[in-house]
C-alpha cells in the first residue's frame, strides 16, 4: 500500500479532500486493486468454460418486505465446479445483493460494493437512499463492461427495504444488464441461466400479501423448477444437506433464514413434489 513507502504512515492521498466514493478513490490512487480492471489485453477473449459461473438467483416481495434467494451450484463448462457456493450477500443492514455470472469477479464486486456503502455512510454521516445504492451498483457494473465483452460478465440482483415507500411497497427489486442498465422490477424477478424457468414458476405462485413462509416456499419451488430444466442450476441436495440460500429484508433489517428452517421448507417441498413432480398449479 502507499503507506509502506513512508515508514508505515498513511500517504498524503488519505488526507486529501475528495468525494464519498471509495471506488473513485481506488480508481485515482490504486486502480490495479479494482476488480473491474481487466487482467486481459483487449485482443484476448476469455474462455467462459474455464471459469466458474454462478447461475440462478431470484427475488420477490412479500407482506413485510422482500425476499432474495439463490441456488448453490457453480459450473465450469459441463462440470460442476462447486456445490455450495453462496450467491446471496448482505450489502448493508437493509440491502442485499445476489449474483449470476463469473464467480471470482462477482465476489470481488460484492465486497467492493459493501465497502462502497459503508465508506459513503462514514463520510456523509448518513446512509445512501435505496435509489442511490442501485445507481452506484449500476456504475460498478458499467465499469466491468470491458471484462463482460471478453466473456467475464457479472449480473447482480439488488433488493432493499425502503421505509420511505408506501406501505406494502417497501420491498424493492432492481435488475441490471451487463452494460449497467438499471431496471426496477415489480413483485418478482430472476437472473441467471435458470431464470426463465424460475420466473415462469413465480408467475403462477406469486400473489400480493404473501407471508414470509409462503414467499420462502415459492422461492424454493421456483429454484426447483429452474434446476429441473437447467443443468447449471442446482436443486436441494438432501444427501449432502446443501440447500438454497434464502434471506429476507424487513423493517428489522437483513436476515438469512437459518439452515434448519431452510432445510425443513426444502424437505417439505421435495415431499410435495413426490406426488406432483411438476409442482403446484396456478389458481384460476
The three grid cell numbers given for residue 210, joined into one nine-digit string: 404473501
Query: Is 55 designated active site?
Result: yes
Q: How far apart are CA 74 and CA 104, in angstroms?
A: 11
CB 256 within 8 A of CB 224: no
Query: Please, what sign has the CA dihedral across residues 163, 167, 87, 21?
Result: negative
Burial of 86-100, coded b for 16+ CB within 10 Å and e otherwise, reads ebbbbbbebbbbbbb
Q: How far apart are CA 16 and CA 1, in angstroms?
A: 16
Q: How far apart are CA 199 and CA 226, in angstroms?
A: 9
Q: C-alpha angle 157/158/164, rounded to 5°?
A: 155
Catalytic residue among 55, 75, 102, 262: 55
The C-alpha cell 432492481 sits at 174
| Residues comprising the chain, all counted | 284
Residue numbers annotated as active site:
55
Amino acid at each position: 500500500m502507499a503507506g509502506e513507502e513512508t515508514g508505515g504512515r498513511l500517504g498524503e492521498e488519505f488526507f486529501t479532500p475528495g468525494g464519498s466514493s471509495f471506488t473513485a478513490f481506488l480508481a485515482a490512487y490504486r486502480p490495479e486493486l479494482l476488480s473491474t480492471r481487466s487482467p486481459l489485453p483487449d485482443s484476448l477473449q476469455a474462455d467462459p468454460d474455464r471459469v466458474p459461473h454462478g447461475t440462478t438467483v431470484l427475488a420477490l416481495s412479500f407482506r413485510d418486505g422482500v425476499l432474495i434467494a439463490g441456488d448453490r451450484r457453480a459450473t465450469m463448462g459441463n462440470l460442476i465446479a462447486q456445490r455450495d457456493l453462496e450467491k446471496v450477500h448482505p450489502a448493508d443492514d437493509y440491502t442485499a445483493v445476489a449474483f449470476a455470472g463469473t464467480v471470482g469477479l462477482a465476489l470481488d464486486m460484492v465486497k467492493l460494493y459493501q465497502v462502497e456503502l459503508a465508506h459513503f455512510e462514514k463520510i456523509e454521516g448518513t446512509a445512501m437512499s435505496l435509489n442511490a445504492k442501485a445507481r452506484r451498483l449500476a456504475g460498478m457494473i458499467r465499469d466491468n463492461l470491458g471484462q463482460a465483452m471478453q466473456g467475464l460478465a457479472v449480473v447482480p440482483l439488488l433488493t432493499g427495504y425502503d421505509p420511505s415507500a408506501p406501505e406494502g411497497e417497501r420491498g424493492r427489486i432492481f435488475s441490471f444488464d451487463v452494460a449497467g442498465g438499471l431496471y426496477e422490477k415489480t413483485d418478482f424477478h430472476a437472473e441467471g441461466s435458470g431464470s426463465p424457468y424460475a420466473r415462469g414458476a413465480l408467475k403462477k405462485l406469486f400473489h400480493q400479501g404473501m407471508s414470509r413462509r409462503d414467499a420462502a416456499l415459492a422461492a424454493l419451488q421456483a429454484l426447483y423448477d429452474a434446476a429441473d430444466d437447467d443443468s447449471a442450476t442446482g436443486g436441494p441436495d438432501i444427501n449432502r444437506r446443501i440447500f438454497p440460500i434464502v434471506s429476507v429484508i424487513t423493517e428489522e433489517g437483513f436476515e438469512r433464514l437459518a439452515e434448519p428452517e431452510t432445510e425443513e421448507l426444502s424437505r417439505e417441498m421435495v415431499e410435495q413434489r413426490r406426488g406432483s413432480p411438476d409442482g403446484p398449479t396456478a389458481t384460476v
